[in-house]
Amino acid sequence: MSNLLVQTIKHTNNTSAQTIDTSGRTTVSIMNNDSTYRSDGGAVTQNLVQGLTKYWTQFNGSGTVATVDSFNQGGLTDNGTGNYTVSFTNNMNNNDFSPTTGTKTHEEMIEAVATSTVQLLTMNSSGSNVDDAINSITVHGDLA
């Protein structure tokens, strides 16, 4: 058995491509958009970048609308009762991405999508817009 002891793997242009800390954890500086991983069973490979969530947020839509936590969020706008627009820090490549929404107690639906925003509505069982304390949205697709 042979061992190779390194802390940093560098490209020939002397830029660090990968580092290994004292616990043996590897850090990759930049992952290419064609990076793949092997499935749990090992039978197939998947594109790693395609499978990542590109945007997510949880926000309080009742009273003063406020973000609880988020990733890649540029802003949150209260358009009126049960009507919100979220914007991305880094835009999507086109408007063919997949947003998924949810609330604590009501129904949520996508009203409009653009490369930089998603508008969503929160409604009660009779179809009237209502504010909900817990709202969430996750987006999968291609970043610009």
CB atoms within 10 A of CB 93: 12
Q: Report the pLDDT value the prediction gives residue 125, as an integer from 0 to 100.
A: 92
Q: Report the pLDDT value the prediction gives residue 33, as an integer from 0 to 100.
A: 79
Q: Report the pLDDT value the prediction gives residue 18, as an integer from 0 to 100.
A: 74
User: Which of 84 and 5 is assigned the larger pLDDT?
Assistant: 84
- pLDDT over 70 (residue 139): yes
Residue 131, both tokens: 């504010």
Q: Report the pLDDT value the prediction gives residue 29, as an integer from 0 to 100.
A: 67
Mean residue pLDDT of the chain comes to 89
- pLDDT over 80 (residue 31): no
Inter-CA distances, 18 with 15, 26, 35, 52, 95, Å:
9, 7, 15, 21, 34
To 5 degrees, how large is the angle CA 131–CA 135–CA 137?
A: 135
- Which runs of E-coded beta strand occur in the chain? 8-10, 16-20, 26-28, 36-38, 45-47, 55-60, 66-71, 73-80, 83-88, 98-103, 107-113, 117-123, 135-140
Residue 125, both tokens: 């069982």
User: Which of 94 and 38 is assigned the larger pLDDT?
Assistant: 94
Which DSSP symbol is given to 31?
A: -
pTM reported for the whole predicted model: 0.78
- pLDDT over 80 (residue 124): yes
Residue 89, both tokens: 């820090």
Model confidence band, residue 130 (pLDDT cutoffs 50, 70, 90): very high
- pLDDT over 80 (residue 30): no
Region 56-63: mean pLDDT is: 96
Lowest-pLDDT range of 34-48, 60-74, 113-127: 34-48
